[in-house]
């Protein structure tokens, strides 16, 4: 840990509905878990949630789409968790990398995205999510240091443009665990997430509709993909907003990310 790194302080609260142990138990059994509403109803009415949700209005166009699509907007941030210090730290701005065999559309190159806004890095909702997921991963694998990547994702569609949450198709992200937190959607149908085993046999289908609805995925044991967004007949535009957070054991970072980028 660099002493100049910014610490993300843990928030002690009763914001979350479901215990880490129950989620981890479900993941151990099925390799995934689906929580219809991660946060309490009071939390979803709070100023912290509203500020968090509103930040999806200020994402940047993803210019790394090899299908030439203009439908995806995002921000990206990287963190590390020190088990020794029991603390999450913000990493310096850095590119996102996936191997080409994990992302045949956009993988194989460093992708540079704008960092999360500063107020979101310290938002109580976001901090709760990060530490909750650390606790889930600890329940799954025991104490470890984690490399954590967070993506704010906005998929847009219009009458002339289809929105594609998973333009690369059915895939794995190339990390240990992937967590998808639903923020909101408007004027669309579609956007159904399919979770599949390693033989690509579907295990479940989930259309996320409820704010803070969450999917927990063991990325080493599962594939996943999301269907295209279909615009409602009366609407001019629509969207789907999610937060995606991926965890990778720090022992694997050199092999998975740094070596391919020559870092």
Residue-by-residue DSSP string for 221-251: T-EEEEPPEEE-TT-SEEEEEEEEEEEEEGG
Domain presence at residue 67: yes
* Token couple for 18: 């479901």
CATH number at residue 38: 2.60.120.620
Distance separating alpha carbons of residues 20 and 203, to the nearest angstrom:
22
Whether residue 8 is contained in a domain is answered as no
Question: What gap in Å lies between CA 9 and CA 246, rounded to an integer?
Answer: 19
Residue at 3 is within a domain: no
Structural domain includes residue 71: yes
Helix (H) or strand (E) holding 126: helix 124-141
Tell me if 60 is assigned to some domain: yes
pTM of the predicted model as reported, rounded to 2 decimal places: 0.95
Reported in sequence order, the residue ranges of the chain that DSSP labels E, i.e. its strands, are: 6-8, 32-35, 60-61, 72-82, 87-90, 146-158, 177-186, 188-190, 192-196, 202-207, 214-218, 223-226, 229-231, 237-249
Report if residue 192 sits inside a domain: yes
Query: Are 137 and 241 spatial neighbours (Cβ–Cβ below 8 Å)?
Result: no
Query: Can you give the pLDDT of all 263 residues of the chain as single tens digits?
Result: 555 679 998 987 789 989 999 999 999 999 999 999 999 999 999 999 999 999 999 999 999 999 999 999 999 999 999 999 999 999 999 999 998 889 888 988 999 999 999 999 999 999 999 999 999 999 999 999 999 999 999 999 999 999 999 999 999 999 999 999 999 999 999 999 999 999 999 999 999 999 999 999 999 999 999 999 999 999 999 999 999 999 999 999 999 987 787 76
CA torsion through residues 173, 143, 125, 123, sign: negative
Is the CA virtual torsion 189, 229, 225, 73 positive or negative?
negative
Kindly provide the residue ranges of all beta strands, DSSP E only, lying in 187-222, ordered along the sequence: 188-190, 192-196, 202-207, 214-218
Q: Are 136 and 216 contacting, i.e. CB atoms less than 8 angstroms apart?
A: yes
**Residue 185, strand partner residues:** 240
Q: Is residue 5 part of a domain?
A: no
Domain that holds residue 206: 13-258
Q: Is residue 203 part of a domain?
A: yes
Total domain count, the chain: 1
């Amino acid at each position: 840990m660099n002493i100049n790194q910014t610490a993300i302080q843990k928030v002690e609260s009763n914001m979350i509905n479901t215990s880490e142990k129950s989620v981890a138990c479900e993941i151990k059994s099925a390799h995934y878990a689906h929580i219809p509403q991660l946060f309490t109803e009071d939390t979803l009415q709070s100023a912290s949630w509203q500020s968090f949700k509103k930040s999806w209005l200020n994402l940047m166009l993803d210019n790394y789409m090899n299908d030439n699509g203009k439908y995806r907007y995002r921000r990206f941030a990287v963190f590390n968790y020190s088990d020794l210090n029991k603390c999450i730290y913000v990493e310096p701005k850095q590119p996102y990398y996936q191997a080409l065999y994990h992302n045949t559309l956009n993988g194989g190159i460093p992708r540079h995205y704008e960092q999360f806004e500063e107020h979101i890095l310290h938002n109580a909702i976001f901090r709760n999510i990060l530490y909750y997921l650390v606790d889930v991963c600890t329940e799954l694998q025991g104490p470890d240091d984690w490399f954590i990547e967070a993506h704010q994702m906005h998929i847009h569609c219009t009458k002339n443009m289809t929105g594609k949450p998973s333009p690369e198709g059915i895939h794995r992200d190339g990390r240990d665990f992937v967590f998808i937190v639903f923020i909101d959607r408007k004027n669309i149908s579609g956007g159904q997430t399919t979770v599949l085993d390693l033989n690509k046999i579907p295990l479940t289908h989930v259309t996320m509709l409820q704010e803070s609805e969450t999917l927990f995925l063991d990325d080493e044991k599962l594939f996943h993909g999301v269907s295209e967004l279909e615009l409602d007949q009366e609407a001019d535009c629509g969207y789907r907003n999610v937060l995606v957070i991926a965890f990778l054991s720090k022992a694997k970072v050199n092999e998975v990310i740094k070596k391919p980028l020559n870092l």
